[in-house]
Amino acid sequence: MIVVMRKGASKSEIDAVIERIHAIGYQPHHSPGEEKVVIGVVGTGNDRPADPETFRPMLGVESVVRIMAPYKLASRDFKPEDSVFTVGGDTPIGGPGIALMAGPCSVESREQTLEIAGELAQLGVTILRGGAFKPRTSPYSFQGLGEEALKIMAEARDMYSMSIITEVMGSDEVEMVSDYVDILQLGTRNMQNYRLLEAVGRQPKPVLLKRGMSATIEELLLAAEYILSQGNAQVLLCERGIRTYETATRSTFDVNAVPVLKALSHLPVIVDPSHATGRADLIAPISRAAIAAGADGLIIEVHNKPEDAVSDGAQSLRPGPFGELLDGVERIAQAVDRSLIRTPAITP
C-alpha cells in the first residue's frame, strides 16, 4: 500500500503518517517525488495487508492506493517516474543518457587490467567492469584474484577517472568489496541468495542485480525488493540472458524483459549482451537491439587478448571492435532520442 501526500503537505503531517505506519507494525518507505511525497507501507513478518482506512482520514493525505504487484518498492505504482542514480559522482544511470560498463570478465593481472582500462578510457567509457571473485561452474576453474583484483581495479579508477563495478559473492565480503567499488554486482547464480541481497541492501553503493538464468521477471523484481526493503534504493536490473532449449547461443537474450521491466518498475534496466549470447560476433547486434528496446545501459566484456583470457574469452570483444560497436549503438540511441554517456578520451 502507498500513502500519497497532498502537494505541499507539511513535515508534521508526513511525520504523523510515518509514526502511524510504525504503530501498526509496518515499515515506512519514503519517496520524495518531484511533486508529491509518497510513503510506502511495507510489511514484514505479516501477510495481512494494512487497512487503507487507517490513513485516509489523516491530515495531508491525498489518497491511499493498494499496490497489487507482490513487489512494492520496485513498482511503478510506488514511484511513477524513472529512478536516476549517479554513479561514481558523474554517471547518471536511468536518465536520457545510456551508461556504458566494459572490461574483462576477470581481473587477471595489473598489466592486463590497466591496459584494457586505458583502451576503454580512450573510447570515453566511464565504468570499468572486472571480476575479482568469480562464480565458476567448476570448482577447478579460475576463481579470481580476490582482494588483489580490487586493488588493481581501484588503481585503474584513479588512473583513468573511471568508476568500477565488480561482483560480490558472499555476504561476509560485502563490506570489503563495497569499500573499493562504485557499483556492486550480484551475479545470476546469486539472484535468490536472500542473505546476500539483504547485505547489499544495507550498504550505500548502487547494486547491479543480474537476472537469475532461470528466473522469471517477477522473481527478478522480488529479488530487487529484498535490496530495496533494506533501505538501498539504488538497484539496477540486468537482463543477461536466460536458459531455454536453444543451444546455438550460451543463453537466450530475453529482449521482452527490457520493455516489460521498464513498464513494471522505475528502476534502470541494463543489458549484458556478452553473457546473453556467449559469442563475440553477436554482441554488437544484441547491444543495438537492447538500446532500441529501451535499455538504460550496457555491460560488455572487453579483453585485450581474448584468446588468452582466463574466463569468457569467446564472448569478449577487443577494444577496436568494441569502439565500432559503440558507434553503431550511438546511432540507435539517437533514433530513440537518447545518447551514450561518453567522456572525452582520458589518458593518465
Q: Binding of ligand PEP at residue 135 (CB under 6 A)?
A: yes
SS3 content of the chain, % helix, strand, coil (to 5): 35, 20, 40
Positive/negative CA dihedral, 229, 232, 238, 242:
negative
Q: Binding of ligand PEP at residue 79 (CB under 6 A)?
A: no
Residue whose CB is less far from ligand PEP, 6 or 305: 305
Q: Binding of ligand PEP at residue 105 (CB under 6 A)?
A: yes
Grid cell at residue 230: 533494506
Through-space distance between the first and last CA atoms of the chain, rounded to whole angstroms: 51
65 three-state secondary structure = strand
Q: Binding of ligand PEP at residue 188 (CB under 6 A)?
A: yes
Residue nearest ligand PEP, CB atom distance: 187
Residue whose CB is less far from ligand PEP, 210 or 266: 210
Q: Binding of Mn ion at residue 312 (CB under 5 A)?
A: yes
Binding string, residues 15-44; x marks residues near Mn ion by CB under 5 A: ------------------------------
CB 283, CB 317: distance < 8 Å: yes
How far apart CA 97 and CA 262 sit, in angstroms, is: 15
Residue from 60, 103, 118, 131 touching ligand PEP (CB under 6 A): that is: 131
- 158's enclosing H/E stretch is helix 147-160
Beta bridge partners of 3: 39, 64
Grid cell at residue 319: 577494444
Q: Binding of ligand PEP at residue 297 (CB under 6 A)?
A: no
Which of ligand PEP, Mn ion, none interacts with 135 (beta carbon under 5 to 8 A by kind)? ligand PEP
| CA-wise closest residue to 105 among 147, 143, 157, 159 | 143
- Tell which positions 256-275 bind ligand PEP, by CB under 6 A: 272, 275
Residue from 41, 87, 105, 271 touching Mn ion (CB under 5 A): that is: 105
Q: How far is CA 177 from CA 62, 104, 208, 246, in A?
A: 42, 18, 14, 35
Which of Mn ion, ligand PEP, none interacts with 119 (beta carbon under 5 to 8 A by kind)? none
Q: Binding of ligand PEP at residue 286 (CB under 6 A)?
A: no
Residue whose CB is less far from ligand PEP, 6 or 189: 189
What is the smallest separation between the CB atom of 336 and ligand PEP, expressed in angstroms?
25
Give the residues lining the site for Mn ion (CB under 5 A): 105, 312
